Amino acid sequence: MAEREALPTMEEEDEDEPVVEIEEERIAELPNQAFWVMVHTLIAAGSWVAMLVVVTLFHPLVVPVAVTTALSFTVPFLVGNIFNRFKQNDMGSHLWLVAVIWFMSVVLWVLDMPTGPNQCYHCDASQKILLTFASFTQDSGLIDGQGRLVGTWPTVALIGYAIGSKMALKPKGI
């Protein structure tokens, strides 16, 4: 004889209700979370752009790539840390996901570009990525030589903001 599964009793159905209520609360929070991700992204990007404007206003002849990369991390890091000290919100610490999505989108764009004279001639995929985004001494010539401005520095800024935000969060329950 085949065994029949027992139907849930009233007590077992009541035990499932808190789980459903918790999931409904999480779903109800999604628009709020999306709003705060957008706010944190705008603050992080704004602080990075402000840093670039301030550096440009000093009219330097040459700013080393390493200095700009360090400032692209440090300024949003400080802004995220200060902002989250006043407005405790854990969505700022998840901004690294936005950074990864941005960077991967730009990488796909660069990988799809053709090579030619003065533009990473005969480069393979790894050379395109390395020379466009990560090399401090050479450039691929792709994206008119602005790979760091379009891909690397915004990504570094968003990651810096996320780390600064995470460090400013107070542990739950305090």
pLDDT value at position 78? Answer: 97
Is residue 34 very low, low, confident or very high in pLDDT (cuts 50, 70, 90)?
very high
Count CA atoms closer than 13 A to 163's CA, side-chain side: 13
pLDDT value at position 15? Answer: 60
Determine phi and psi for 7, rounding to 5 degrees: -70, 145
Q: Where are the domains of the chain?
A: 22-168
Is residue 10 very low, low, confident or very high in pLDDT (cuts 50, 70, 90)?
low
CA distance 174 to 43: 27
pLDDT value at position 151? Answer: 93
pLDDT value at position 173? Answer: 62
pLDDT value at position 36? Answer: 93
pLDDT value at position 74? Answer: 97
Determine phi and psi for 121, rounding to 5 degrees: -60, 125
Q: What is the mean pLDDT of the chain?
A: 87
Q: Which two tokens stand for residue 64?
A: 């080393």
Concatenated DSSP letters of 16-79: HHHHHHHHHHHHHHHHHHHHHHHHHHHHHHHHHHHHHHHHHHT--S---HHHHHHHHHHHHHHH
* Between residues 84 and 28, the one the model is more confident about: 84
Q: What letter represents residue 67's amino acid?
A: V
Does pTM top 0.75 for this prediction? yes
Q: Write the pLDDT tens digit of every residue in 99-127.
A: 999 999 999 999 998 887 877 888 889 99
